[in-house]
Amino acid sequence: MSLPPKPPARPDRVSLWRYMKLFRQDLLSAQPARLYRAWMAEFRTPFFRSFLLNQPDLVKTVLKDRPDDFPKSNRISEGLRPLLGNSVFLTNGEVWKRQRQIIDPAFEGGRLKDTFPAMRASAEATVVRLAERVGAPVEIEEETSHAAADVIFRTLFSIPIEHAVAAQVFTRFRAYQRAQPILNLAAFVPLPKWMPRFYPRGTKENAREIRGLIGQLTAERMAAIEAGTALDDLATKIMTTRDPQTGARFDTEEMVDQVAIFFLAGHETSASALAWTLYLMALYPEWQDRVAEEADALRDPGFSVMSKLRVSRDVFREALRLYPPVPMMVREATCPERFRDRDVPVGAQMVLSPWHLHRHSRIWDNPDGFDPDRWGTQNGKACARDAYIPFSAGPRVCTGAGFAMVEGPLLLSVLLRAFRVTPVEGRAPVPVAHLTVRSKDGIWLKLERRDRTL
C-alpha cells in the first residue's frame, strides 16, 4: 500500500516574493523538505525573523513552560479578525485568561456526556443524508462540513443545521472560507494600526452577515435565560457562567465573538479531520473493516459506548497526526532568547508546526506511514507525550479537544457502520492549508451500503 499523500516541498532557497506568493496559496508546499528533520530553522525577511521549532523541549518551553513569554502573534490574527472579533482564539494576557475561565467549564468531562445525544443525532442524520449518495462519487469534505456544522448547532443552541438561521450561517461561512486566505499582507509586512486592512472581496460582508446571524441566536438565548426558559446546552452554560473574579458574564457582543470561534474551530477543524480519516479508511480497507466491526457496540445508545470505540479512537488519532487540521501555530517572543546557540530577538515569530512535528523523521517511527497501532508502542507513547500537538498544548490547548475526541470517533464509527468507502480512481487528494488542512480539489470517495443498521 502506498503512503498517504502529502504536498510537495519547495526548494531550500527561493526569493522573498516567491515565498510570499507560495505562502498565501498554501503554507505547506511553501516549506522546504529539510523541516521534516530539522530541530530548528530560521527564516529572515526584511521585516521580521521567524524560527520554526521541532525540538520537543523547545516546543514545551513555548507552549507549556513559559506561555506568557510567547503570546499569540497578531500577524496571524489579522486575516481572521473581521469574523472572530475579540474571541478567545485571538486574545492574549488577562483578557484571554478571563475568557477561558468563563468558557472552560462548559467543556468539562461531565458536560461532554450531556452533549453526546446531540452528537449522535447529528451522526444519524448524516447517515440518512448520505444514503441518497450511495454508488456515485461524493466530495466528502462537503459532507463532513455539513455534519460538523450540524454538531455545533445541535450542541451549542439545540437546533439542527436545517434551522433557518443555522443554515444561513453555514452557507455564509462556506463563502467566507473560499475567499479568505490563511494570511494577509499584515502577516508579512508590519502595518501601523491606523492603516486600513485589505481583505479579499466578500470577506467583510460575509463576516458581518455571519456575526449578525449569530447575534440573533445569542440575543434570543439571552432573552430565554432571563425568562427562565433556556435549554440546558453549551450556549446557556457559557452565557450563565460568571467571571470568578468580577462576577460578570459575557455580554451579547462578547458571546458573538466566542460563538464565531466555536463555529470556526469546532466546525472547520472537525470537518477537515473527519474527511481525511474517511479517506485513509478508503486507502486502508483492513482498518476500515476493524472500525466497522467494532461499531456494533453502537447498539448501546449511551455515552458509555465511547469507551468501547478504541480502534476508531486510534484511527482518528493517527489521522490527526498525519493531517492536523491546524498545521501551524505562531507565537511571538517578548524577551530575548537563546535557542540552540542562536539569538532569538524580541518580536521574533516562533512557529510551532504540528504538520512537520508529527512527521518528523528523527522522532517518529515510520513518520509518513498510516499505523494506528503505533499508539500502543514505546515510540508511539513517547511521541504522544512529546511530539503530538493537534490541539496545541499547555494553557492554550484547545478548549474543545475533549469534545473533538468524542465527536470524531463517534461520527467515524456511525458512518463506517452504515457505509463502506472506497477511493475514486484518478482523484487522489493533494493536501493544502488554507484555514485548515483541506484537499486542493476535494476528497472524493464512493459509498456502498453495509448490511449493518443503526
CATH number at residue 357: 1.10.630.10
Look over the chain and give the mean of its residue pLDDT values, rounded to a whole number.
88
Q: Is there a domain that residue 351 lies in?
A: yes
Instruction: Give pLDDT, residue 452.
Output: 55
The pLDDT, as a whole number, for residue 4 is 85
Helix ranges, 33-191 (H): 56-60, 74-77, 81-84, 93-103, 109-130, 140-157, 164-179
Q: What is the number of domains present in the chain?
A: 1
Pairwise CA distance, residues 210 & 202, whole Å = 12
Expressed as residue numbers, the domain containing 127 is 16-449
Count of beta carbons in the 10 Å neighbourhood of residue 33: 12
- Residue 84: CB atoms within 10 Å: 23
In a domain, 454, yes or no: no
Q: String of b and e for 194-217 (b: at least 16 CB within 10 Å)?
A: eeeeebeeebeebbebbbebbbeb
**Of 356, 355, 359, 24, the residue nearest 188 (C-alpha):** 24
Mean pLDDT (whole number) for 246-257: 91
pLDDT per residue as tens digits for the range 135-191: 999 999 999 999 999 999 999 999 999 999 999 999 888 777 766 555 544 454 454
pLDDT of 18 > 70? The answer is: no
**Burial of residue 309 (number of CB atoms within 10 Å: 0-12, 13-18, 19+):** buried
> Is 3 inside any structural domain?
no
For the cut 90, the answer to whether the pLDDT of residue 289 exceeds it is yes
Is 211 or 435 the better-scoring residue by pLDDT?
A: 211
Helices in 131-163 by DSSP H: which ranges? 140-157
- Looking at residue 194, what is its pLDDT? 43
- The grid coordinates listed for 144 are 463532513
Instruction: Evaluate if residue 281 carries a pLDDT over 90.
Output: yes
| In a domain? residue 11 | no
Cell of 291: 472500525
CB 333 within 8 A of CB 434: no
Rounded mean pLDDT of 233-240? Answer: 94
Tens of pLDDT, residue by residue over 27-60, are 777 788 899 999 999 988 777 789 999 999 999 9
Structure confidence by residue, pLDDT tens digits, 181-213? 555 444 544 544 544 444 556 678 888 899 999
Q: Is residue 4 part of a domain?
A: no
Residue 211 lies in a domain: yes
Mean pLDDT of 251-267: 88
373-416 pLDDT, tens digit per residue, is 999 999 999 999 999 999 999 999 999 999 999 999 999 999 99
82 is a domain residue? yes
Cell of 165: 438561521
pLDDT of residue 443 exceeding 50, the answer is yes
Q: Say if 133 falls within a structural domain.
A: yes
The C-alpha cell at 356 is 512537520
Least Cα distance to 337 among 353, 352, 350, 354 occurs for 350
Which pLDDT tens digit goes with each residue over 56-92?
999 999 999 999 999 998 766 666 778 888 899 889 9
pLDDT of 179:
63
